[in-house]
């Protein structure tokens, strides 16, 4: 039986990955900051699907948290076959309205943690000649909009570059770029969603199903919905200055989770 490790597993896209992978018979390593919530999730998934669900409490904004997850990914005796780097958050406010401490925390979670955890997983997977990594980015990666979009653009570029370097190794790496998903993300960040059109909202479970299908096909980039595929096509031919104005009206956070 294979094992998947999911960061930010207790809510949103991470929870949807946990539900789907457990239903498919994968054992899980569930990673988040809230131990009680993790234990409840692990018990539910074990009872419902008969899989083993390990709990790993870690704050990926801290070196100690990153190190503990990296150590689990490097464990050769209990290997992880699939890594879902999903943990992330948004900051409310424009550039210079957000404290430097919060901006650096975002980069820690979205960039440094993704780099270190992907590297720990990929090295172990390459030795076995198989494995997969999904790094959750966002359609925000393709529009000029603050630190969130910039950090997700880094995730896309890093993942696709690493995927090319790992070609032929048996290890697949993919950046997942959803749009708006109905989760706790915006509420936790204190962001309103009234100005977001209904057609832009995605279902987390359908999103995960499409993402896993794209991973199985060997894609290094997944935009898992026809609506957002079309929107990203428009973005490619839209002047950057105009995009900046549009995303300003939509809100600083333009993306998933």
Q: How confident is the model at residue 14 (pLDDT cuts 50, 70, 90)?
A: very high
- Mean pLDDT score of the chain, rounded to an integer? 87
Report pTM.
0.87
Q: How far apart are CA 184 and CA 39, in angstroms?
A: 19
Catalytic residue among 95, 148, 228, 254: 148
8 A C-beta contact, residue 247 and residue 143: yes
Strands 82-85 and 3-7, bridge-based pairing = parallel
Residue 37 lies in a domain: yes
Q: How far apart are CA 50 and CA 52, in angstroms?
A: 7
Give the domain range for residue 206: 3-250
- Residue 162: give its domain's CATH number: 3.40.50.720
More confident residue, 114 or 199: 114
Residue 257 lies in a domain: no
Q: How far apart are CA 230 and CA 63, in angstroms?
A: 39
Statement: residue 22 has pLDDT above 80: yes
Residue among 59, 9, 64, 55 nearest 29 (CA): 55
What mean pLDDT is predicted for residues 89-99?
91
pLDDT, one tens digit per residue, over 208-246 is 999 999 999 999 999 987 776 666 666 664 545 544 444
pLDDT, one tens digit per residue, over 132-170 is 999 999 998 988 779 999 999 999 999 999 999 999 999
pLDDT for 195 equals 64
Residue 91 lies in a domain: yes
Q: How far apart are CA 78 and CA 101, in angstroms?
A: 36
What mean pLDDT is predicted for residues 106-128?
98
pLDDT for 16 equals 97
Q: At what angle do helices 12-23 and 35-49 cross, to 10 degrees?
A: 30
228 is annotated as an active-site residue: no
Q: Which two tokens stand for residue 138?
A: 């966002």
Residue 256 lies in a domain: no
Statement: residue 102 has pLDDT above 90: yes
Total tally of structural domains belonging to the chain: 1
Residue 79 lies in a domain: yes
């Amino acid at each position: 039986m294979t094992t998947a490790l999911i960061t930010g597993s207790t809510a949103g896209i991470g929870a949807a990955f946990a539900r789907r992978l457990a239903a498919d018979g994968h054992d899980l390593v569930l990673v988040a900051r809230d131990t009680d919530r993790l234990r409840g999730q692990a018990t539910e998934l074990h009872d419902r699907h008969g899989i083993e669900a390990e709990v790993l409490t870690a704050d990926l904004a801290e070196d100690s948290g990153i190190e503990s997850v990296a150590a689990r990914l490097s464990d050769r005796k209990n290997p992880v076959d699939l890594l879902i780097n999903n943990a992330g958050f948004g900051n409310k406010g424009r550039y210079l309205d957000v404290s430097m401490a919060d901006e650096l925390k975002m980069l820690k979670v979205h960039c440094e943690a993704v780099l270190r955890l992907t590297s720990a997983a990929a090295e172990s997977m390459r030795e076995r000649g198989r494995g997969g990594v999904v790094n959750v980015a966002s359609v925000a990666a393709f529009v000029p909009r603050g630190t969130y979009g910039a950090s997700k653009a880094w995730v896309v570029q890093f993942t696709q570059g690493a995927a090319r370097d790992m070609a032929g190794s048996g290890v697949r790496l993919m950046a997942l770029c959803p749009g708006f998903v109905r989760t706790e993300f915006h509420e936790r960040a204190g962001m309103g969603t009234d100005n977001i059109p209904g057609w832009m909202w995605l279902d987390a479970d359908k999103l995960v199903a499409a993402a896993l299908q794209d991973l199985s096909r060997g894609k290094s980039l997944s935009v898992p919905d026809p609506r957002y595929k079309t929107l990203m096509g428009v973005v490619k031919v839209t002047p950057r200055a105009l995009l900046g104005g549009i995303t300003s009206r939509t809100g600083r956070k333009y993306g998933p989770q």
